[in-house]
Amino acid sequence: MAPLSFQHQPIPTLKASGNEAPLSTLPVVETFHSLQGEGLHSGRSAFFLRLAGCTVGCPWCDTKHSWPEAQHPRLAVAELARQAQQARDHGAAFVVVTGGEPLQHNLAPLCEALSGVAPLHLETSGVDPLSGHFDWITLSPKRHRPPQPELLAACHELKVVVAEPADLAFAETMVAEASRELNRPHLLLQPAWDNPHGLAQAIAYVQAHPAWRLSLQSHKWLGVR
Ligand code: SF4
């Protein structure tokens, strides 16, 4: 199927002036207005803020270009808030802070700058301590780098990528650990992209375990950003 034509809102970018305090700038890979493709909020209009920097090292990572923090420009959080407001004015329902691994940075100044602009969503592996305040936290834990307990306690959805059977056992371990933290997040299994075995395992598991639901990377299936 040919990719669909989808007009995301381009956001003109201003770089930090160079006079900013270090905490008020962040390394940014890209910002764009599109649809959330994954998880419980899939299909909704969202403004994405992809921060640079990740040392988690997932072999299947589809954003490896985001790993080297120094290769991306630092932007002022005030500029990011301006872009988010512009996207909000054009219909974005919420802002998604993603990466890379966004919690490699102190996100408190960003959250403060974005406060009142739109609901704030975070997508994280949970490897680093939580900073900032978010309305929705998607925890996507990794078997080779288990998450911090505070993220298991705070997440609203637990989204586990399924590439092989061991990922299903890991998913249930994460549920048990979240439960020990007195949290009952929404549970999603997401097949690893371009992995027919992972897809079949995730579908079969969700079919047999009604607490879980399938999360598809619908933006990739549809050919939108
Ligand atoms: Fe890629 Fe995310 Fe894993 Fe980092 S945590 S390597 S960005 S999938």
Looking at this protein, which amino acid is placed at residue 6? F
> What's the distance, Cα to Cα, between the start and end of the chain in Å?
16
Q: What is the mean pLDDT of the chain?
A: 90
Residue extents of the structural domains in the chain: 22-160
The answer, yes or no, to whether any atom of ligand 1 lies below 6 A from the CB of 99, is yes
Res 153 pLDDT > 60: yes
Q: Which strand (E) or helix (H) includes residue 87?
A: helix 77-89
Which residue, judged by its Cα, is nearest atom 8 of ligand 1? 61
Residue 98: name the closest of 60, 46, 149, 57 by CA.
46
pLDDT digits (tens, 9 = 90+) for 8-54: 444 555 454 444 445 699 999 999 999 999 999 999 999 999 999 99
The answer, yes or no, to whether any atom of ligand 1 lies below 6 A from the CB of 58, is yes
Break the chain down into helix, strand, coil percent, rounded to 5.
Answer: 30, 25, 45
Question: Residue 181: which region, alpha, beta or left (left: phi > 0; alpha: psi -120 to 50)?
Answer: alpha
The pLDDT-based confidence of 62 (bands split at 50, 70, 90) is: confident
Which 3 state secondary structure label does DSSP give 180?
helix
Atom of ligand 1 nearest to the CA of 64: 1
Q: Which superfamily, per CATH, for 22-160?
A: Aldolase class I (3.20.20.70)
Return all residues near 18 (Cβ < 8 A) that are at least 6 apart.
none
* pTM of the predicted structure, to 2 decimals: 0.90
